[in-house]
Each structure stands twice: as C-alpha cells, then as structure tokens.
Chain A
Amino acid sequence: MTCWRRLAAKIRALARNRRAEDDAAREIAAHLALLQDEFERRGMTPQQARLAARRALGGAEQARQLHRDSRTILWLEQTLQDLRHACRALLHSPGFTVVAIATLALGVGVNTTLFTACNAIALKPLPVADAPHVVRLERLLASRYLGDLQYAFSYPEYENLRDHQNAFASTVASSWPIRVLASPDGQRANPPIPVQAQLVSGNYFGALGIPASAGRVFGPDEDNAPGAHPVVVLSHAFWERQFHSDPQVIGRSLEINGSAFTVTGIAPASFTGTSINPQVPDIWAPIAMQQQLVPGQHWLRTPTDFEFQILARIQPGVAVSQAQAETDTLVRQFATTYITRDRTLSVKLQATAFLGNTDDVRFQAGMAAMMVIFLMVLLVACANVTNMLLARGAARQREISVRMALGASRARVIRHLLTESILLSLSGGAAGLALAAAAGKLLWIALNQVLVRQLGTDFVLSLNFNPDRRVLLYVFALSLVTGIVFGLSPALQLTRPDLCSSLKDDTTSFGRGLSRSRLRGLLIGGQVAVSMLLLTSAGLLVRGLSRSEHADPGFDTQHVYLMRADFGDNPARAAASFQRMMDWLPTLPEVQDVAYGSAPMLGTWTPPIIVHHPGAVAGEVQGRTLASYASDRYLETLGIPLLRGRNFTTRESAAGARVAIVSAGAARLFWPGEDPIGKRFQLDLHFDGKLTEYEIIGIARDVRMANLTRVDPARVYFPPDPALVLPAVVSLRGNPQGSLAALWSSLRTFDRAILPSVSLWNMETMVVSMQRALARALAMLAGILALLSLTLAGIGIYGVMAYVVSQRTREIGVRIALGASRGRVVRSVAVEGLRPVLAGMAVGLAGGAGASLLLHRTLSTPGSLDFLYGIRFYDPLTFLAITVFLIAISLVASLVPSLRAVRVDPVEALRYQ
C-alpha cells in the first residue's frame, strides 16, 4: 500500500527537482550547524569544530548525494539528466547534428517508404468493420493455379454457403470489376462513358458495416428478385470525378447499358472496395441486376460461372480452423453436383488484405529481398554516423576518462553516450517518417498515373500509402535499433579502461588507437563495398534500360490493336457470334487485316515439346517451347515475315488442322543443322500428358513476343481449336486517331449486346510501353538507391579522412620540418586512406558479380524476363566504369583534406596544442 505512496512521492520529487534539492541542502546545512555547536560545546575551537562536524557527517556532498538518490527514481532522473546533457551537446555542435540527422533520415526514410508500401499491400486490413473477423475464401485448385481464379466462386456456391454455413455470421459475394457503359442522366447527347461496376450481394454493405456517406446503401430486400430493383451506390471517387460532388445526384437516374438505374447513395471516401485487385469500383449494384449489367450470361443459376469473390464474417466465439474445416466440406460437397475441368482440392479461409496472394511464398521472398537491400543502405548510413561519432568522441575522451576515474561505472557512462545516439536516431527517425509520408503520397500519384495510362482514365488505385499505427511502430523500433547499433561501438571504444594514456595531455599520440582506426577502416570498407554492389547492379540495370528503349518487338505494334469481347455464355452461340465478327471486320475500310490467336506479350504458354531424333537418347528430345494460337492471317497482321515454307490456308485455319509454323530459334534449337519443314513434333498442350502431333510447314522470323526483354528462344504457331473464342488482332490503316474512331462507331452499329465488353488495346501504347515503363522504373529505383549510398559513402570517406588528417597534423608538420616534400606526404597520407577503400571495392566487386549471376539465373524458362535485356552478367564496361568512378570519388575525398593539411605551416603544427 505504502509503496504506491512512495512512488508518488518520488515522482513529485522528480518534478520539483530544484525545490527538493534546495530543501535537502538546507536540511543538511542545519545538521552540520547543530553538529558544530555540539563540538564547540565539548570544547573545540570553531575551526576544529567545523572540521569535526564535517567528519562526523561523513561529508556534506556525500550526504546530499545519499539524500538525492533515495529521494527520486534513480534511473529516471539519471536518464533525464543524460537527455538534457545530450540535447545541450548536440545543439552545441549544429553542423554535426544536422549532418547526422540528415543521414539517418535518408536511411530510415527509405526503409520506411518500403515498409509503407508492404503495409499497404499485405498488412493493412480491408476498410470494413471489425476486419480481423472477416475472411476471404480461397480454394486450392488441382492445377495449382495462382492468380485470381482461386478466389472465384459461383453464385450457387455462394447461396449454398450462405444458407448452410452456421459458423459465418454473414456471407457476402462481390464480382470482379465489370466494364459497363453509363450515361449520366441528361447527357444523352454525349456518348456513354465506360464505368467500372461491381455486382454485390444485398447484404454487402450491411454485413461489412459500411454506412453511406450520403443517401443510403441498398439492403438484402433489394437483391431478392432478378431485375426488380435497379439501384446503384456510387463510390466516393467516382462521385467526385464524374458528378463533381453534387449532392443532388442522389435519387437521380443513371442509364447503364441502356437500362435505367437509380442512385440511392454514396459510399464513404475511406471505403475503397474489397476486391483483390487494387482498383476502386465506380458503382455497386445488386447481383439481381446481373442481366442488365452483363447481358447474355446467367450467373445466378450457373454453378460453373465462377464470377464472385466471397467474404465472410465469422461468428464471434468460433475458431477460424473450425469454420475453415466446415467450409471446406460444404464447398467440396457442393462441387460434386456439377462438372468442371479444374477440381477443387480444398478451401481455405484467408485473412483479408488489399491484394490477393500476399501469403504466397514467392511474393514474401521478393518482399524480404527488397527489405534486405534497403536495409543495406541504412547500414551504410549507420556506418557514416558511427564514424562521425567516433571522431567526435575522441574530443571527449578526456572528459569520459575523468568521469570514470572519479568512480562512474562503465555501464553508466555507456548509458550516457547511448542516450545521445538514441536521441540522434529518434530525431533522424522522425525526419525519416516525414520523408516517407511525402514519398508515400508521391508513390501513390506515380502508380496511379502509370495504371491510368495503361488501363484507361477510369482507374483509381485503392491502396493507401499513408503512415498508420503499424508504420509508426516500425519507424520507432527501427530508429531505436539504429541508435543502439551505431552508438554502441563508439561508446564501448571510448570507455575502454585505458585511462592512463587518455588522461595524458596528448591528443595526437602516434601509435595509439590502433583498434579504433581498424574499426574505422572496416566501416569505410563496408560502406564502399555496399556502394559498389548497389552501383554495379544499378549500372547493369541502366544499361539494360537503354537497350529496352530501342528493343524492337519484331512485329508491328503501332497500328495493331488487340480486341477482346465477351460473346456470352453459350459456347456454340459465342463461337458463331465470334465468327460473324471475324467475317465482318475485314469488310470495314479502316481495317487493313484481321486475325485471331494468342494475345502477344500478355502471358506466356510454354507447353512441353517432344521431337523425335533417331540419334538422341531414347530417340527423342524433350524441352519447352513457347506456343501461340494463330489463324491464317495472324503472321501477316502482325507483320512477322515468313522465312521459308508456306503459311496456313484458310481451310486449315478454320478446321484447326495439325500443322505448325516454327520460329527460326525453334528450328535452330530442336532441328540443328537440318531443314525442319516436313518434320513432325508433339506438344503436351494442356499439361495433362496427352500429346498432339503437328507437321511443320514453314519457318517464321524470331520475335520478342513473350516479353520485351529477350527474343523468344523458341516459338511455334498453329491453328486454334475452332470452338475457342480468342482475342483478335486488328491492324488499321491510315490516320490512327481517325481509323480508331471509325472502328468504334462501326462496332456500335454492329452488335449492341457485346459493345460494353469490347476493349481495343493498341499494342504499342498499352502493351509494349508498359514493359518499357517497368524497365525504366526498375532502373530508376536502383539508380536512386545506388546514388544514395554513394553520396553517403562519399561523405563518410571525406569526413573520416578529414578527421584522421587533423589528428596527424603534428606528424605531418614533423615530416615536413624534417625535409619531406609536400607531395610525398600527401601521397603517403592519401594512399593510406585509400587502403580500406580498395579492400571494400574488391569485396563489392565480388558481391556485384554474384548478384548479376543471380539475376542471370532467372532466365531458366523460355518465357521468363531478362532484367538486363541481354547485357552479359560480367559486362566489363559496367564494372570498369563503376570501379574507376569510385576510385575517383575516393581520391577526391581523401586528397582534399590532405592537401589542406600540408598547406599548414609546420611551425604551427608543431606548436604545443
């Protein structure tokens, strides 16, 4: 009981420090006076009495100290004392403080930005009520597909879960974004605009706890009969963009795909949707309105139309594992009632995050790798600050030695020094957080711009890069650890129990501090190594970037458009509609050529290929090749020339005949030294072991169709199965703007039913440029990081050299006085300073070679990306240039202080300081 009283009293004493101190002094003085009186009474002289009194008390200062120690919470008071001292010391040397804080801010800021991005993607919960209890359903498919299909369920499956799963308090379904054409009321004159819609179950907003920011959201009773309640809720972003935040829009009518809908409300600005793609939808409509938004499909009653993502709120008190087991059983039981190609193996309940697949091992490994690289930059910053602290600490060596001689324990002094470093690092962390917040905003803008350019102006990024609780915790922890990391080593160094020599009035002893200069050299070497590593990687990526700017895909992209449309659910009718369109398109004047087949550069298909060679092991050669479906006009439309042989005939193309055209690379790879025309090969088209045999009728020129980074090692083209509906490639003639507009207006007259789902992508601006943009982004990122670490390293080297030279001023003075030429002295000082730099460069070179080898290993499959665009991993030009660059910088950094030092008059230098 009384211990609380004691604690309170201690805190009070802490607060009223000065008062308490004065009171104690007064009391002890009074005590001394009384003692003195007593001794005088016993017969001593006043002088003797005074001395005796002090002796009896045991020393006034010691008594005061005893009083003080028991009066307050000792460690707290000491910490406050240290803090005050550290503040004063840091403010006293503003240059050092600013540089240190700036350095740390850069290091911490960069890491925090990365963490903010990771947080936004993987850690932040969805903007729904009580997010920890909301789960997303994910299934494990037999094909082990990893993309977004494993999150797709059909409406009958949803109904089954909603009605039978008691472990869920509520279950909601939401579709993927659906492209519709909408005409805001009163704008019949303008063409309808493309709008991103999402079909959601009636209880979507209610179960997820999303209120309307204006108007009302729709409820379950508005989702009970197909087509009965044409209502929509607008997203905040869409409302701002399209209706300029006009509150009158509620209750107004919005025409979507020709049907009239009523706007009932606006969602709050913080609700960015729950889909696994990071896009904020424009409008939400009840699933019952599916026919109006997606005509020709029957999602409500087709169990194999996997169009919906399912989220569920778990009943309070039910364990996730139990709910998961029950869901698994329910879904698999239901799956036995219909037939689908890809079987469901199991169902998992996943915690919700903004992006899907965030628990994929590869994704997490990639994130971890990036964090490690960024942490290296932070380490470079730390090394800098450590060196600066060491240099600064040397000036305080005497003060510290005196303290320890007077009885301060080593731990106490280390605590004192660490307080200063932690104060520095926390300040640097705060500055870094500000930097990261700004960078997060910039990142959002940049990312949104890129995506808008690629996917159309109606895209709004749903990720939130603002710092939240998690980011703040991360910054604090990182700053704390950073402070300890860079502060501990100098603290340990400075408090080394070698008091004698440090108490001597000799700050420039020649041979001392060997271990300290070793540490310094190690730090410099480490900084240089990291800079070297980052610089070589950046250099390789930048060279790859310059290549990518001029990389020629090998086929026409300027006037070629990729066309995709949704022809409805019925396969026979869809194929017929598709064929009709394929016959109609060539009749248009603006269309030069039309073909259909695999979309170039949008995904790769690499089936196993088997070629029979009598001389080979087991009589056959196995490998992988890239494959494309191609109609008879495919190669012509894309402008890929035929080198030898003949093209497909119309009949062969329409019938899906088993003939193929191979690329020159494939010919070289699988039929080296012979003519492949007339030969045969087998493909395992669906990865199920069933082989299809093809006869080669022609050889086409090599192209970069898998991605822009490398020429396809091997590619085969063959006619598609007639029942398949594939993307079409259309090449237009004449003025691009005019032809495109003409094509759109022709499409409008052709078939209104499929019009909303038609997308026309220009190969150059939409597909190829995306890849170029990626290369640019990577190179820029690597360049920034490398430049950052180089700047830090340069500053570090300069600072250390300046300090070392200043320490050796006497030695330099002696040398010059004894007759050494200035040039020789500069050379020797500079060379000695360069030794750790050279060592660091060697380590960095080795690391850089290893890193580029790693990049090279990613080229294992025919369709994978080559980040370096064909630059060899041991590219001598890059490595040489970087080495020379670094040596130049180091030379400058070490020469400048040395030159300044030798200019000092030797008499001045030799004078006793």
Chain B
Amino acid sequence: MILRTLATMGPQHAYGIAARLEQVSGDLLNLNQGTIYPALVRLEQHGWTKGSWSKTDSNREARFYTITRAGQKALEGETERWRQMSRVVEKLLAEEP
C-alpha cells in the first residue's frame, strides 16, 4: 500500500504516507502512526524505496521516500498477485451451496 501511495503521490515523508492511508481507507485503518515504520524500514532494506532528507513546504525537515524502479516492478507484481487472489476468493464466495 505504501508503494502504491508513493507511486501515485510521488516522494513523500512518513507522516504524509500515514495521513494519506488514513484518508483513503476512510478511517477504517486507524492505527497509530508509529506502526508504519517497520514497513518503511523493510521496503528500504529491500531496495524498493530510497530515502533522503529534505525540507517540507512549511520548512520543516523530513525524510522523503521515493519509489525505485525495482520498487515499481515489485508493486506491479504484488498488485497482480492481489488481483488474482481476490478473483479466486470472489469466485469461491459466489458459488451458491
């Protein structure tokens, strides 16, 4: 989901990503924002994002994450997998007893 966010929104910092996720999910995903960090760290360690320090519009410093090309590929792969999975589940659920 983070990768998707980055892909659509471009480079973002941790707060921005968390806020966007909260917004998109319509407050269904209301975790505390600190829990985003394990995922961020993991993505960066895999090499799918790249982080760098920069300044926000309000002149606060923050660490901005950009999706890499490997990340794009991974995103496409994950998206396809997810779509396949949901198709199968839908099919199973559609079968009337």
Closest-CB distance, B93 to chain A (whole angstroms): 33
Given contacts A37-B60, A58-B34, A66-B34, whether A31 and B15 have CB atoms under 8 Å apart is yes
Q: Interface residue tally of chain A, by bracket?
A: 20 to 34
Instruction: Please state if B38 and A67 are interface contacts (CB–CB under 8 Å).
Output: yes
Closest-CB distance, B47 to chain A (whole angstroms): 5
Given contacts A34-B62, A56-B33, whether A5 and B45 have CB atoms under 8 Å apart is yes
- The verdict on A57 contacting chain B, using a C-beta distance below 8 Å, is yes
Closest-CB distance, A386 to chain B (whole angstroms): 40
Q: Which of A6, A34, A70 contacts B60 (CB 8 A)?
A: A34
**Cβ of B60: which chain A residues have Cβ within 8 Å of it?**
30, 33-34, 37
Interface string of B29-45 (1 = CB under 8 A from A): 00111110110011011
Q: Which of B16, B42, B63 gathers the greatest number of chain A CB atoms within 10 Å?
A: B63
Nearest residue, chain A, Cβ from B60: A33
Q: Which of A26, A57, A67, A70 contacts B32 (CB 8 A)?
A: A57
**Cβ of B8: which chain A residues have Cβ within 8 Å of it?**
none
Given contacts A5-B45, A5-B47, A58-B32, whether A31 and B62 have CB atoms under 8 Å apart is yes
Nearest residue, chain B, Cβ from A70: B38
Interface string of B58-80 (1 = CB under 8 A from A): 10111100000010001000000
**Cβ of B56: which chain A residues have Cβ within 8 Å of it?**
34
Instruction: Please state if B38 and A9 are interface contacts (CB–CB under 8 Å).
Output: no
Given contacts A5-B45, A30-B61, A33-B60, whether A58 and B35 have CB atoms under 8 Å apart is yes
**Cβ of B91: which chain A residues have Cβ within 8 Å of it?**
none
Interface of A is mostly: helix
* Cα of A2 to Cα of B16 in the assembled complex, Å: 26
**Cβ of A70: which chain B residues have Cβ within 8 Å of it?**
37-38, 41-42
Q: Interface residue tally of chain B, by bracket?
A: 20 to 34
**Cβ of B19: which chain A residues have Cβ within 8 Å of it?**
38
* Cα of A6 to Cα of B49 in the assembled complex, Å: 12
**Cβ of B46: which chain A residues have Cβ within 8 Å of it?**
2-3, 5-6
**Cβ of A28: which chain B residues have Cβ within 8 Å of it?**
34, 37
Instruction: Please state if A57 and B34 are interface contacts (CB–CB under 8 Å).
Output: yes
Chain A residues numbered 41-94 whose CB sits less than 8 Å from any CB in chain B:
55-60, 62-63, 66-67, 69-71
Closest-CB distance, A580 to chain B (whole angstroms): 95
Q: Which of B35, B38, B44, B63 contacts A30 (CB 8 A)?
A: B63
* Cα of A58 to Cα of B37 in the assembled complex, Å: 12
**Cβ of A2: which chain B residues have Cβ within 8 Å of it?**
46-48, 70, 74
**Cβ of A38: which chain B residues have Cβ within 8 Å of it?**
15, 19
Instruction: Please state if A71 and B41 are interface contacts (CB–CB under 8 Å).
Output: yes
Closest-CB distance, B92 to chain A (whole angstroms): 31
Nearest residue, chain B, Cβ from A72: B41
Q: Which of B32, B35, B58 gathers the greatest number of chain A CB atoms within 10 Å?
A: B32
Instruction: Please state if A6 and B14 are interface contacts (CB–CB under 8 Å).
Output: no
Given contacts A30-B61, A34-B62, A37-B60, whether A9 and B34 have CB atoms under 8 Å apart is no
* Cα of A5 to Cα of B43 in the assembled complex, Å: 11
**Cβ of A63: which chain B residues have Cβ within 8 Å of it?**
33-34, 37
Interface of B is mostly: helix
Instruction: Please state if A27 and B42 are interface contacts (CB–CB under 8 Å).
Output: no
Closest-CB distance, B74 to chain A (whole angstroms): 8
Closest-CB distance, B37 to chain A (whole angstroms): 4
Instruction: Please state if B34 and A62 are interface contacts (CB–CB under 8 Å).
Output: yes
* Cα of A341 to Cα of B62 in the assembled complex, Å: 97
**Cβ of B45: which chain A residues have Cβ within 8 Å of it?**
5-6, 9-10, 71
Given contacts A30-B62, A57-B32, whether A35 and B37 have CB atoms under 8 Å apart is no
* Cα of A60 to Cα of B32 in the assembled complex, Å: 11
Closest-CB distance, A634 to chain B (whole angstroms): 91
Instruction: Please state if B42 and A6 are interface contacts (CB–CB under 8 Å).
Output: yes
* Cα of A3 to Cα of B56 in the assembled complex, Å: 32
Q: Which of B33, B35, B37, B41 gathers the greatest number of chain A CB atoms within 10 Å?
A: B37
Chain B residues numbered 6-30 whose CB sits less than 8 Å from any CB in chain A:
13-16, 19
**Cβ of A33: which chain B residues have Cβ within 8 Å of it?**
60
Interface string of A1-29 (1 = CB under 8 A from B): 01101100110000000000000001110
Given contacts A10-B45, A30-B60, whether A35 and B34 have CB atoms under 8 Å apart is no
Closest-CB distance, B72 to chain A (whole angstroms): 13
Instruction: Please state if B47 and A57 are interface contacts (CB–CB under 8 Å).
Output: no
Instruction: Please state if A58 and B33 are interface contacts (CB–CB under 8 Å).
Output: yes
Closest-CB distance, B73 to chain A (whole angstroms): 10
* Cα of A28 to Cα of B32 in the assembled complex, Å: 13
**Cβ of B42: which chain A residues have Cβ within 8 Å of it?**
6, 70
**Cβ of A9: which chain B residues have Cβ within 8 Å of it?**
44-45
* Cα of A630 to Cα of B19 in the assembled complex, Å: 110
**Cβ of A31: which chain B residues have Cβ within 8 Å of it?**
13-15, 33, 62
Nearest residue, chain B, Cβ from A56: B33
Given contacts A6-B46, A9-B45, whether A67 and B37 have CB atoms under 8 Å apart is yes
Nearest residue, chain B, Cβ from A20: B41
Instruction: Please state if B38 and A66 are interface contacts (CB–CB under 8 Å).
Output: yes
Nearest residue, chain B, Cβ from A6: B45
Closest-CB distance, B69 to chain A (whole angstroms): 13
Interface string of A588-606 (1 = CB under 8 A from B): 0000000000000000000
**Cβ of A3: which chain B residues have Cβ within 8 Å of it?**
46
Nearest residue, chain A, Cβ from B47: A5
* Cα of A57 to Cα of B58 in the assembled complex, Å: 20
Nearest residue, chain B, Cβ from A61: B34
**Cβ of B15: which chain A residues have Cβ within 8 Å of it?**
31, 34-35, 38
**Cβ of B70: which chain A residues have Cβ within 8 Å of it?**
2
* Cα of A3 to Cα of B47 in the assembled complex, Å: 10
**Cβ of B34: which chain A residues have Cβ within 8 Å of it?**
28, 57-60, 62-63, 66
Nearest residue, chain A, Cβ from B70: A2
* Cα of A37 to Cα of B19 in the assembled complex, Å: 13
Chain A residues numbered 749-792 whose CB sits less than 8 Å from any CB in chain B:
none
Instruction: Please state if B13 and A34 are interface contacts (CB–CB under 8 Å).
Output: yes
Closest-CB distance, A811 to chain B (whole angstroms): 51
Nearest residue, chain B, Cβ from A55: B32
Closest-CB distance, B3 to chain A (whole angstroms): 13
Closest-CB distance, A859 to chain B (whole angstroms): 73
Q: List 10 A-B contacts (CB under 8 A).
A: A2-B47, A6-B45, A9-B44, A28-B37, A35-B15, A38-B15, A56-B32, A67-B37, A70-B37, A70-B41
Contacts A30-B13, A71-B45 aside, 5 further interface pairs with beta carbons under 8 A come to A2-B48, A5-B47, A6-B46, A66-B37, A69-B38
- Point out residues on A near B: beta carbons under 8 Å: 2-3, 5-6, 9-10, 26-28, 30-31, 33-35, 37-38, 55-60, 62-63, 66-67, 69-71
Nearest first, the 9 A-B pairs at minimum CB distance are: A58-B32, A63-B34, A70-B38, A9-B45, A58-B34, A34-B15, A2-B46, A6-B45, A70-B41
